[in-house]
Amino acid sequence: MTRPRRSLLFLPGDDRRKIEKAIITTPDSIIMDLEDGVAVNKKAEAREVVLRAISELNFGKSERIIRINALDTDFVNDDIQTVLRAKPDSIIIPKVEAPNHVTYVVDRIPFAIPVIAMIETAKAVMNIKEIATVPSLAALCFGAEDYIARVGGVRTKSNHEVAYARSVVPMCASVFNLQALDMVYVDFKDEAGLRAETRAALELGYSGKTAIHPNQIAPINETFTPSQEEIDRAQKLLNAFNENQAKGAGAFAFEGKMVDMPVIRAAQNMLARAGIS
């Protein structure tokens, strides 16, 4: 069964207190960051903090993820050694631009570990199909801030400037049976904006969204979790579908509308998001 990753909370790896507080908010995944969230002169300290946190703290049901530094830095090999010692549940590789960026890391880890590849450059978007074929991948994660900075554009609340790249990620993920994880919403005090952007991600086909503040977890989880009303309607629709299939009927009417297979698949997807098979 695929691990749910509705909400993934980024935390600086050198801050034990923030890691402890994050556990209380019960995100699906806690990302202990060794990359952008940590100053260059704090990298070694962050590795030790993350190592101790994983060995000493009870994360409950939250997935323990380490984000290592990019392959074009001097830190990545030391980060891989931390992964070997800590044995997290998953790892995130930032700024992946080609399949070998993933295999370089995976080949140096002698045990199976799910990998999340961050798609956050124009080259990554161009090569996303090849990246998605790497067997150890569990998910693709879109990073809008780095992407638009590399492209040379300007970030806006409308997200029109990242519309193409943001749409490509869930499309490609669906082809290769991967999860698609959406970009962070940087204004952590704007709950209405977060909910709107998370809803848009759900409509695009994303299965989860990254976060930068514990207060973002509940709105994200609520958006990606179907309501009881939606679950009940989907179950009634599938029951009607099964009854009509038994009668030899293809398309049929349900609540005044014609229903065919795309509608049935949408209902099945909704129940899957609710954890109902």
CATH number for the segment(s) 7-224:
3.20.20.60
Helices 228-246 and 261-273 cross at an angle (nearest 10°) of 140
Domain ranges of the chain: 7-224, 228-273
- As a whole number of angstroms, the distance between CA 65 and CA 86 comes to 10
The segments of the chain whose pLDDT lies below 50 read none
DSSP run (H or E) holding 208: strand 208-211
3 state DSSP class of 85? helix
**Phi and psi dihedrals of 152, rounded to 5?**
95, 20
pTM: 0.90
DSSP run (H or E) holding 139: strand 137-142
**Phi and psi dihedrals of 67, rounded to 5?**
-100, 120
Note the pLDDT of residue 40.
96
Catalytic residue, candidates 14, 72, 107, 260: 260
Encode pLDDT of 132-190 as tens digits.
Answer: 999 999 999 999 999 999 999 999 999 999 999 999 999 999 999 999 999 999 999 99
Is-catalytic flag, 260? yes
